[in-house]
Structure formats: structure tokens, C-alpha cells
Amino acid sequence: MGKLSQAAAMGAEVVEVDGNFDEALRMLLASSHGAYILNSINPFRIEGQKTVAFEICDQLGAVPDNVVLPVGNAGNISAVWKGFCELKEIGAIGRTPRLIGVQAAGASPIVAAVRKGAMEIEPVERPDTMASAIRIGRPVSWKKALLAIYGSRGTAVPVDDREIIRAQGLLASLEGIFVEPASAAPVAALRALLQEGAIDRDETTICIATGHGLKDPETPICRVSPLKVMAGAGDAGADLSSIISRPLGR
């Protein structure tokens, strides 16, 4: 509802598909009603997303060693690679970073292909993860994603839901950055990447967050239950210390 409410507020007619993302996309592609598709099939979206590479270099003042991104439909990773390649082509940068794709363990066809060194994916028919933005078993831009990963000498790794939720909580409590689960996946992957030697601690590594936490308010970290209720300020007996579990300010 966090995502749908934005469209509904602008007057959109929202239709729910009783199925997963891949099934919804197949229905759109087969539609005879002139549906305009906004995901990574759309070349204008890729042109917009590639500017992430421009902003990284502009704000960092250098080319990072690694860029870690969540991968669902695989548009982001292919777009960011396009951006870095264009910067190098015009001589703005002398090298490109390695791109590392992160998928949920229950929806990781690109990870499986990279581990085999394959140039094709085997779709996951029943993708399973609470990270809805990357719950995709048949990424439409898989070919571009593989080209980006191989072309950048990068890799792809899976993370399970428990690691994703932990990273989401750490980002919120330690950094003040509240992201949806899919956006926490790159941070969740950092530990494994370090342990496997895929990246070094002295390298500059950028993790890309793609969505605000309120886009996916049904995930475990967002659940506040049961609510604690106290009397209003007009009640002389009202006392926060009687209901809070830890001292204020800590």
C-alpha cells in the first residue's frame, strides 16, 4: 500500500494481479490496450538511471572500486554500467568500477548464472523473499545485467531475508537511513563479500539504496504491535516512565 497509495492519490486506476511480478509483466506485454511499460524495458528509464554513475563520480570526486546494487528486474545495474562506460568513453574517467549485484536467496537467477559463468539464466518460477522490489524470478533485463557484471569484472551474491532485515535495522538505527528491504540488500551482502575476498576493506565501495522504507511498510521491521497506550496529558496520573521500556534519550 505504501507504493500503491502514491499512484491512487494521483487518480490512477489500480488493478491487482493475482500472481507475482513476472506474471503481471507477461499480461502487460500481451495486452492489446496499448499499455505503456515503465520498468527497465523502457529505454528512457535506463537513460535516467544511468545518471547514478554521473552523481557518484561527481560527489565522490573519483571512481569507486566497487558499486553494489540490489538486482530485481536488473535495470539498475545495467543502467549504472552504461553510465560509467559513457564517462570513460568521453575521457571523463580513466577506469570503471566493478559492479556487484545482490539478489535475495529465494529469487537469485542472476547469481546462479554468474556462479556458473553462464551467459543465460534459468528463471526461478516461484521467487520467494519478503523484499518485494527484488522478488523477481525472470528479470527482463538479465542479459544486460550479465554483460555489466562480466564487463566490469564484478560478481553477484545472494543474501537471505534475515540478513536483509538485520541490515535494514542497522541502517536505520546507526545511520538514520530508513530504506525498504531491497535497498538494504547491498549492505547485507558486504560481510559475505569481505569474507569471500570479493572486495578488500581498503577499497572504496558504494552501496546503492533504491527505495524509502515506507514503500514497503508490511515488512517485519515496520510492525509496531501491540501499541502501548497511556492516558493523555490532562490526566494527572499520566507518567511515561510507567510504559517505556528504556530511559528517554538512550
- Quick check: is 197 in a domain? yes
- Quick check: is 85 in a domain? yes
| 158-191 confidence digits (pLDDT tens) | 999 999 999 999 999 999 999 999 999 999 999 8
CB contact set of 127 (below 8 Å; sequence gap of 6+): 20, 21, 22, 104, 106, 107, 135, 136, 137
- Quick check: is 245 in a domain? no
Q: How many domains does the chain have?
A: 1
Domain of 91: which CATH number?
Answer: 3.40.50.1100
**Mean pLDDT on 19-38:** 81
Closest-CA residue to 121 (of 134, 135, 137): 137
pTM of the model: 0.85
| 55-75 confidence digits (pLDDT tens) | 999 999 999 999 999 999 999
Distance from chain centroid for Cα 90:
29
- Quick check: is 121 in a domain? yes
**142-151 vs 109-116: helix axis angle to the nearest 10?**
40
- Quick check: is 243 in a domain? no
Q: What pLDDT score does 250 carry?
A: 42
235 band by pLDDT with thresholds 50, 70 and 90: low
Q: Is 174 in contact with 127 (CB distance < 8 Å)? A: no
Question: Residue 48: which domain range?
Answer: 17-216
| Cell 499520566 belongs to residue | 238
What is the DSSP-derived secondary structure letter of residue 212? Answer: B
- Quick check: is 229 in a domain? no
Percent of the chain with pLDDT over 70: 89
- Quick check: is 8 in a domain? no
Burial class (CB in 10 A: 0-12, 13-18, 19+), 16: exposed
